Each structure stands twice: as structure tokens, then as C-alpha cells.
Structure 1
Amino acid sequence: MADYRIAVIAGDGIGPEVMDEALKVLCEAEQEEGFSLEVQAFPWNSEYYLEHGRMMPEDGLDTLQTFDAILFGAIGDARVPDEVTIWELIMPIRKGFRQYVNFRPVKSLPGIPSPLANGEDIDFVIFRENAEGEYSDSGGRLYAGQEGEIAIQNTIMTRTGVERITRAACRYAEEHGLGKVTSATKSNAVIHANKLWDEHVRRIVEEEFGGLQFEQYYVDALAAYFVQRPQSFDVVLASNLFGDILSDLGSGLVGGLGLSPSGNINPEKDYPSMFEPVHGSAPDIAGQGIANPIAQIWSAALMLEHLGEKRAAGRIVKAIEDVLAEGKVKTRDIGGTATTREMGSAIGEAFKNQTTKATEG
């Protein structure tokens, strides 16, 4: 019997291409580290929608709930509105499985220059509240098409939601020996929802995690500090919208979206968590075999870490770093000419070479 059952949703565009490479590296990890994976793929994407009128079957969440984790590719197709692909596939999974942590590492990689690093490595993580906040399906439109048309979009923040994302961020900081948590807010203007955020973030940190340094910035100033002094952060804590924007800025600091993984995590493991690259489906390069698979492979490493296979996860990240440090294999987005498959194969070889070097040593 498999140690872990993994649901794979490759999605649209470059999703299947980068997913193939992640699965190859996972196979290497499985063989070398002694655990087993039972992988089942689901064809839930825009083609599925065009054929069936929905992004996944009615019992899709029930099916996924039987798995230990979900490895997701990318979604998006010009033939299907974005609100359909997002709100009928990604959002039901995130919200239905209480994946209230969106976890994004922001980390300098060898051979990937950053104009903002100033010769020093950047290494921090972002904890984005992932289940409520500004991305809540609450509101509506009145008088559509008329001169007096009105749109209302409500932000939903709950004390429970703020408390649990704060605890998750602080526990991570403690477990990884990180000293500081930085909270993003805009409570000078968003005076109801963000004041609730401020009050309970500060209370949880001070009452339950007194050993951590705590700081709070308005999100516009924090975005500027990301640019001016990115090395000064350890764990950044933000609401859904603010965390989404700051995360992409963080990706830009260290090489771009093609290198950036993420996890949508249910820390209690009552439901499966979902791991996906930050980039989209990139239809302009789909089918050309030139997409960078690093973000997908790194997302698979985050999945293994969540499942408890920390050694395997660390080895995958080290393999990515080794390939980039050598500099011989790079995809076009990072200044090379390698194909998607060549990059995936190079990372797989680097993973295996770690065992060879250890044996020789």
C-alpha cells in the first residue's frame, strides 16, 4: 500500500508540461528515499469545462478528500472566463478544504541575479490568509448596463480566521528559528476589517509567542520596504489580497514567477493540502517545450515537506540550487536555451548525484 496518495491536476497551457517534470523528480525521490506514492491524475481543466459545462464533477471535492495531497499545475484558457476557472476549481478546493494558509517562500537562488539584492541573499516566507478576506464571494451588482450601475464587493474577516493564520505564521517562525513576524495592514483607511486584523494579530503574537519580535506596516510602505531592504524580513503575514500582491512582488525580487512555488495548506491535515506553482498557464508558450519547470518541481518539494518527507524535500531544493549554480542548463526565462524536459532531467540527475557524492565522500 502506498505511503501517500497524490491527486494530480495538471490543468491548462504549460501545466501538463511542467507537471511531467515534477512527477519525474518525485519518482527519483520515491526510489531513493524509500517512500511510495500512488498518483492519480484528473483531467479537470478548461477542456473539461467546454465538454461538461463545469470545471470538475459535482462530487469532485469528495473524490479529492480521499487523497493525502493535491499537486496542481496551472489553470487558464482564453475560451473560458477567468472567474469560471478560478471560482469553479481553485477556490472550491482552497475554501472547501480549509486551506487557510497560502505559503510562499521568497529565496535567492544561485545563478539568478536580483537587481535589489545588493549582494546579500534574500530569504523570507509569506503567510497569506487564504480562505476569507478580500477574496470572499460576498456582494453583487445592481442596475447592470445602466448609467447608475453599482458593484459591491465585501471583505469578510473573522476573528477565527485572523487568529489561525497568525498562529500558523508564528509557529513556523519558532520551528525554523526565525525571530520576527511582520504584519501587513491598511487600517488607517480600511478601518473595520483591518482594525480587526491588527488587534488580533498583535494579541496572538504578544500573548502566545512572546519570544518573537513583531512589527506592523501599512501595506503600501511594506511594498516599498520589500524593494529597499528585502533582507530585513523573516516571516511576513498578510490578508488574502495584500498577501497575493506582496507574494508576486517577492517573486520578482528573486527571479520571477517561473521560479516560485506555493502551498495552499490545511495545517491540521483534516483535509488534503494543494501545492502549485505561482505562474499561470502561459498560453503564449504552451506546447513549445520551453517553460521553466522549477516552480512546479519546488512545489512538489513543499508537498513532500508537508507530508513529513523533509529529507526528500530538502534534497529536491538542493538539486534545483545545484543545477542553477552550475549554470549549464537554464530555460529561456532565466537567460538560457534549455527545454522544459532538459531542465527537469538536469534536476533529476542532480538529485541522484547527491547520493553518489555522499557515497564517494
Structure 2
Amino acid sequence: MNGYRIALIPGDGIGVEVMQSAREVLGAVARTFDLRFDFTEFPWSCQHYVDTGRMMPEDGIGQLRSFDAILLGAVGYPTVPDHVSLWGLLIPIRREFQQYACVRPVKLLPGVQSPLALPKGTDIDYLVVRENNEGEYSTVGGRSYAGTPHEVVTQVSLFTRRGTERIIRYAFELARARGKQRVTSATKSNGIIHSMPFWDEVFADVAAGYPDIESEQMHVDALAAKFVLTPQCFGVVVGSNLFGDILTDLSAATVGSIGIGASANLNPEREFPSCFEPVHGSAPDIVGQGIANPLGQVWSAALMLEHLGEPEAARAVEDAMQRTLEAGIKTGDLGGSANTAEVTAALVRELSSVAR
């Protein structure tokens, strides 16, 4: 029996609700595949910030270091500024544990209607790889003469050769491993004069080492349009921290709902634990109503299983999701009438019926 120590951070709002769904699904996985999950739950959240003045304790990173993986819910609340909640919890986890590759699958699942007017039978199935540790999300910069007519604000983007090359190389390796025949680079070198031409140069250098994989670069505004017009043409898309962030929310919407978006914040070298989380937010407007879509959290748990070396279990979870949706059991954001508990119960039934 393989056993794994998993740190759970439910977070805020519906994060708590969908985390419970993920625990139930992972319980069914454990029974079906003879696995053991030892969960330790941490109350770190915006409520924790209100109570203590910190999103997590000073030794929070140290507490997480020994776990095999981190499963995160959703973080955010209207009374706590977003930059406080993000930089107080998620970004330290990503950076201290060198989770430099954020991988987000974009797939139109059976039984889900895309809002796009696409030809019948169009298949949307690609990956977005986002640089997760540097780029536009840096702490370099500042404000001078605040609150006066002379106020000056600087925000410096930070691109290193090491960081840029490793994320682009990871995208090509992922494309090769997954059988995706094209890697598309998101750039804006016609307007951003230093960082993006540098990104393009590194992309070209790395692409030369993968002659078996088609490569292309595309300005991010045109790429956003193509995500809407021809999403079926992509295999793996790689972008900087900011570009990847924006593109993945857009792509999640094109496959039915941001509620099903999943992501993996990976330390590919496995020197530190990786973190898995849904793309959606804490949705305070629907908290306590029992209608949150649990699929983003469950799919993130499947990505966690794959990273832990349990691909059969990961595929079983994804198959259970597909069969549940095909049966018409889906939440309101996907056009259904099922609640969170009903979708979760259906997933557990599907997993319990898997014959090994």
C-alpha cells in the first residue's frame, strides 16, 4: 500500500466546501486503489489573517516542507485586500518550494457545452504552462510622493535566463511526453521592448533542441483571440507569469466554466512539495448554499495523484468526472441543477464501481 502525507488548506468561502468534496473523492480512490492518504488540515485563510494579522504563521513554510503534496482550496474575502491574501500565503508557497511550473489543463469535457460557437465535434484539449516564480509578479519597485500630484509608481518585471529557459524547456518536455505536437509561446515583443524579445530568443534557442515538435510564437492579444476562435489548434501553450495567469482564466471559460478549472503548481525536480488548486476563487456570494462546483478541486486532486506517481488513480478520477457529466449530474454554472453534495456522491459512486 502506497501512502502519502497531504497538507490540506481549504482557505475561504467555497474553498472549504469543495475541499470536503475532494476529501470524499480521495477516500474513494484510496479504497479502490489500495492507497493511504494522511491528511493534515491547516486553517490558514483570510479569517486567519483577521484573527492573527497573518495569512499563515511565520513558520508556515517549515510546517509544509515535509508533506508529499499540498492541496489548496480557494483564498480570498472582500474585507481582506487581494494583494495581502495572495502574497501572504500562495505566492510564498510557490516561491519557497520552487513551484516554477504552473500547469493548467484546458479540456472540453463530455456533457459540457462550450459558450463558443464552434463547429460540431470540435475537440478542445490543450495545456497552458505558466512561469510561476518570476516575470511580472515581482516585489521590485515602489511608490514615491504617495498621494501627491507628483506620485511615481514603478513595477519591475524580473526575467532571468535560468527561469525563462527552464519553464520553456519544461513545456517542450511536457509536449513530448503527452504526445502534443506543437508548443506555442505567448509573447508581446512588439510592445514590451526588453523582456519579451529576450523571452523570444530563449524560446527559439530551446525550440532548436526539439526538432520533433512544432513551435510557434504569438502575440498574447492575438493568442487570446485564437483561444476563442480556434481553440482546437493548440497543444501546449507556454507564457510568462502574467500572460499565463490571464490566458488560463480565459481558457477555463471557453470550456464551460471557471468552476472546473484545475491547476498544478509544480516543483518538477521534486525537491519540495508541489501544490494543487482550482482556478476559481472563494465565491463569497454563494457560500453556504451548497451549489459550488467541486470539479475544479477534484480535478486538481487528480493532477496531484498523477504527480505523486499514481497515474491509474488519476485517470480513474478524470473518467469519473466525465461519466458524471455525461449522466447530466452537474451544477448550475454548467447548466445543471445538481448541488455540490449530489455531484460529489456521483463521483464517489463512479470510483467505487471501478474494477481493477
Check whether TM > 0.5.
yes
| Matched residue count | 354
- Aligned-pair CA distance for 1:117: 3.4
Q: Which amino acid in 2 is paired with 1:122?
A: I
For the residues of structure 1 that align with 2:227 and 2:81, how far apart are their CA atoms?
Answer: 32
| Residue aligning to 1:34 | 34
Q: Deviations over 1:261-305 (max 9, x none)?
A: 001111001110000000000000011111000000000000000
| Residue aligning to 1:266 | 267
For the residues of structure 2 that align with 1:106 and 1:300, how far apart are their CA atoms?
Answer: 16
1:69 aligns with 2:69: yes
Q: Deviations over 1:162-196 (max 9, x none)?
A: 11101111111111111110001001111111111
Q: Which amino acid in 2 is paired with 1:131?
A: N
For the residues of structure 2 that align with 1:313 and 1:49, how far apart are their CA atoms?
Answer: 34
For the residues of structure 2 that align with 1:2 and 1:60, how far apart are their CA atoms?
Answer: 26
- Aligned-pair CA distance for 1:3: 1.8
For the residues of structure 1 that align with 2:2 and 2:33, how far apart are their CA atoms?
Answer: 14
Of 297-306 and 331-340, deviating more is 331-340
Please tell me whether the aligned partners of residues 291 and 339 of structure 2 are also in contact (alpha carbons under 8 angstroms). Answer: yes
- Aligned-pair CA distance for 1:353: 2.1
| Residue aligning to 2:151 | 149
Q: Deviations over 1:310-359 (max 9, x none)?
A: 000000000000010111x221111122111111111111112232xx7x
C-alpha change, 1:164 and 1:344, in structure 2 (3 Å) is same
Q: Which amino acid in 1 is paired with 2:305?
A: L
For the residues of structure 1 that align with 2:193 and 2:257, how far apart are their CA atoms?
Answer: 33
For the residues of structure 1 that align with 2:26 and 2:248, how far apart are their CA atoms?
Answer: 26
For the residues of structure 2 that align with 1:84 and 1:60, how far apart are their CA atoms?
Answer: 16
Please tell me whether the aligned partners of residues 265 and 276 of structure 2 are also in contact (alpha carbons under 8 angstroms). Answer: yes
Gap runs ≥5 in structure 2 = none
1:140 aligns with 2:142: yes
SS, match of residue 343 in structure 2: helix
- Aligned-pair CA distance for 1:2: 6.5
Please tell me whether the aligned partners of residues 2 and 38 of structure 1 are also in contact (alpha carbons under 8 angstroms). Answer: no
Q: Which amino acid in 2 is paired with 1:109?
A: L
Of 345-354 and 295-304, deviating more is 345-354
| Residue aligning to 1:122 | 124
Q: Which amino acid in 2 is paired with 1:311?
A: E
| Residue aligning to 2:85 | 85
- Aligned-pair CA distance for 1:142: 0.8
- Aligned-pair CA distance for 1:118: 2.0
For the residues of structure 1 that align with 2:100 and 2:131, how far apart are their CA atoms?
Answer: 6
Correspondent of 1:185 among 176, 187, 194: 187
For the residues of structure 1 that align with 2:343 and 2:118, how far apart are their CA atoms?
Answer: 25
Q: Which amino acid in 2 is paired with 1:239?
A: S
Q: Which amino acid in 2 is paired with 1:222?
A: L
SS, match of residue 217 in structure 1: strand
For the residues of structure 1 that align with 2:228 and 2:83, how far apart are their CA atoms?
Answer: 31
Gap runs ≥5 in structure 1 = none
Q: Deviations over 1:204-263 (max 9, x none)?
A: 111x22211110111111111111111000000100111111111111110111011001
| Residue aligning to 2:252 | 251
- Superposition RMSD in Å: 1.1
| Residue aligning to 2:175 | 173
Please tell me whether the aligned partners of residues 144 and 153 of structure 2 are also in contact (alpha carbons under 8 angstroms). Answer: yes
